[in-house]
Amino acid sequence: MRKQHEWYDEHDAERWVAEPVKRPGRTAFARDRARVLHSAALRRLAAKTQVVTAGSDDFVRNRLTHSLEVAQIGRELASTLGCDPDIVDAACLAHDLGHPPFGHNGERALDQLAEKIGGFEGNAQTLRLLTRLESKTFDQNGRSVGLNLSRATLDAATKYPWPRRTGERKFGVYDDDAAVFDWLRQGVDAGGRRCLEAQVMDFADDVAYSVHDVEDGIVAHHIDLGRVGAERAQYWETVRRSYLPEATDAELDESWQRLTSLVYWPRAAFDDSRRAHGGLKDLTSQLIGRFVTAAEQATHARFGRSRLVRYEADLVVPSGIRAEIGLLKGIGMFHVLNSPERQARRAVQRELLTELVDALSKSAPNHLDAAFAADFKEAGDDSARLRVVIDQVASLTDPSAQAWHTALVR
């Protein structure tokens, strides 16, 4: 095999199941990106909740638009650091594939339902989709190996490179996917350390989340930036509870002062005019540039090389920039996620998924999609069968989960 990139080797480009190279002029990592881009799992994200329920508004983001925005941010930062941009692009496109209907709310519901079989976590489900559930490649025994991405790309898409651990809610692999996880982590001696490409993906996700959720909240008139400073106590508490537990009021005040002093920060209330929309778009663009440039410069300053890949470096994000990102995320969290209306809606969504899993468990393999019905029949015990039902429900979009519930739950 030829070298895929001057700074990556054959080990990085290796696939779980060897494949012939069909187009020699294209790298393994470009093929990876194309596979994720054309996957059914990515298309389904268009009808999955990001923050506001998917389909409830023509403007707000869904999981697909969010993933595309994360990929743009990640690819740009990767290029400046020397990472292969296709690896980071593919990881960013893939990072939310495992999210079930109704976003993090659905994730919590399925985690409770799957508690006795190892739980449910969107990032672990992403690895399962990429290496098992998504149809593309099969091994010599006819078993699906998912998209069969390269080792470097799978590693970059692994946000939490460890199995479920006591006291930690986040993890990146279920026990029955341990074999492929061990394969993709071959040669990594750093325990739970993430490769640089995964760190870039994660940072791009944070940047997109912080600015775009605030943008959506402003346009929906849930957020009034002019009132944040005067009512800072409740916002700062949300920031500490969800993102920056050690941050002091003084540190958050300083971060807010930096943001509001920026020349492009809005000075007038949002009034739905074209000028207001244009100003808001300029704000999001400028903030993304601010955050990405700061990370790029700090990382190069720390490691001093123009090309940084895999485990040669770690992404460096200045503490002040992390505080600004966390503050924006907290503002979005306070207004958009914690409203009484959304709290009530989330309770209904969790009940819907609970009832749907129960109905499918009782009737399976009937009513399961053909691929999951086959998995159910091959499952060796009740735990494995429940995992198949969870896989099926997690694959559904918000509207299809509602439709299945209407059809199956009496």
pLDDT tens per residue, range 101-135: 998 899 999 999 999 999 999 999 999 999 999 99
Domain end marker among 133, 156, 184: 184
| pLDDT confidence tier of residue 162, bands split at 50, 70 and 90 | very high
Does residue 59 surpass a pLDDT of 90?
no
What is the model's pLDDT at position 295?
Answer: 98
Residue 307: pLDDT band with limits 50, 70, 90: confident
Handedness of CA 61, 44, 194, 21 (dihedral sign): negative
Check pLDDT > 70 for residue 302.
yes
Give whole-number Cα distances, 344 to 186, 340, 341, 355, in Å: 45, 6, 5, 17
Q: How many CB atoms lie within 10 A of CB 14?
A: 17
Separation of alpha carbons 220 and 214, rounded Å: 10
Question: Is residue 164 domain-shared with residue 225, that is, in the same domain?
Answer: no
Regarding whether 316 and 353 lie in a shared domain, the answer is no
Its domain, for residue 39, covers: 10-184
Is the predicted pLDDT of residue 145 greater than 60, yes or no? Answer: yes
DSSP string, 249-305: HHHHHHHHHHHHTSTTS--S---S-HHHHHHHHHHHHHHHHHHHHHHHHHHHHHH--
- Residues 267, 203 share a domain: yes
| 5 inside domain | no
Q: Is 62 helix (H, G, I), strand (E, B) or coil?
A: strand
Residue 333 and residue 214 share a domain: yes
Region of poorest pLDDT, from 47-51, 194-198, 300-304: 47-51
pLDDT band at 409 (very low <50, low <70, confident <90, very high): very high
Last residue of a domain, one of 323, 339, 355: 339
- The set of residues, in sequence order, having a beta carbon less than 8 Å from that of 135 and lying 6+ positions away, is 40, 144, 146, 371
Count of CB atoms situated within 10 Å of the CB of 365: 19
Inside any domain, residue 15? yes
Residue 190 counted as domain residue:
no
Looking at the domain assignment, is residue 2 inside a domain?
no
Report the pLDDT value the prediction gives residue 345, as an integer from 0 to 100: 85
pTM for this model (two decimals): 0.93
The pLDDT score that the predictor gives to residue 266 is 93
pLDDT of residue 50: 55
Amino acid residing at 257? Q
Q: What is the DSSP letter of 313?
A: -
**Per-residue model confidence (pLDDT) at position 305:** 73
d(CA 133, CA 250): 48
Residues 65 and 143 grouped into a single domain: yes
Kindly indicate the confidence band of residue 10, based on its pLDDT and cuts at 50, 70 and 90: very high
Helix, strand or coil, per DSSP, at residue 166? coil
**Which of the listed residues 316, 339, 362 is the one where a domain comes to its end?**
339
pLDDT value of residue 191: 76
Determine what percent of the chain is predicted with pLDDT higher than 70.
94
Output the pLDDT for position 190.
67
Residue 363: CB atoms within 10 Å: 12
pLDDT at 54: 45
4 lies in some domain = no
The answer to whether position 220 is within a domain reads yes
- Angle subtended at Cα 319 by Cα 315 and Cα 321, rounded to the nearest 5 degrees: 85
CATH code (residue 120) = 1.10.3210.10
Domain check: are 107 and 200 in the same one?
Answer: no
Q: What is the pLDDT of residue 56?
A: 47
pLDDT tier for residue 334 given thresholds of 50, 70 and 90: confident
Q: Are 33 and 176 in a shared domain?
A: yes
Q: Give the pLDDT band of residue 1 (cuts 50, 70, 90).
A: very low
Give the residue with greater pLDDT, 7 vs 393. Answer: 393
Q: What percent of the chain has pLDDT over 90?
A: 79
pLDDT at 13: 95
- Regarding whether 346 and 328 lie in a shared domain, the answer is no
What does the mean pLDDT of the chain come to?
92
**Beta carbons within 8 Å of 167's beta carbon, 6+ residues apart:** none
- When comparing pLDDT for 155 and 62, which is higher? 155
Identify the residue whose tokens are 């959304």: 342
21 and 163 housed in the same domain: yes
156 and 140 both lie in a single domain: yes
Distance from C-alpha of 369 to C-alpha of 170, rounded to nearest angstrom? 28
Calculate mean pLDDT across residues 332-340: 74
Decide if pLDDT at 32 tops 60. Answer: yes
Same domain, 154 and 25: yes
Distances (CA, A) of 135 to 95, 127, 130: 18, 14, 9
Residue 1 lies in a domain: no
Q: Which of 48-52, 225-229, 296-300, 396-400 has the lowest mean pLDDT?
A: 48-52
Copy the structure tokens of residue 344: 């009530």
358: exposed, middle or buried (Cβ count in 10 Å: 0-12, 13-18, 19+):
middle
Which of 38 and 344 is assigned the larger pLDDT? Answer: 38
Residue 391 lies in a domain: yes
Query: Looking at residues 133-159, what average pLDDT do you find?
Result: 96
Judged against a pLDDT cut of 50, whether residue 4 lies above it is answered with: no
pLDDT score of 23 more than 90:
no
Please tell me the predicted confidence (pLDDT) of residue 220: 85
Q: Which residue has the higher pLDDT, 216 or 401?
A: 401
pLDDT over threshold 70, residue 186 = yes
pLDDT band at residue 251 under the 50/70/90 scheme? very high
Number of structural domains the chain divides into: 3
Task: Reply yes or no on whether the pLDDT at 335 is more than 90.
Answer: no
DSSP per position, 164-205: --TT-S--SB-GGGHHHHHHHTTT--STTPPPHHHHHHHHHH
pLDDT tier at 217, thresholds 50, 70, 90: confident
What pLDDT, on a 0 to 100 scale, did the predictor assign at position 333?
Answer: 87
Do 132 and 176 reside in the same domain of the chain?
yes
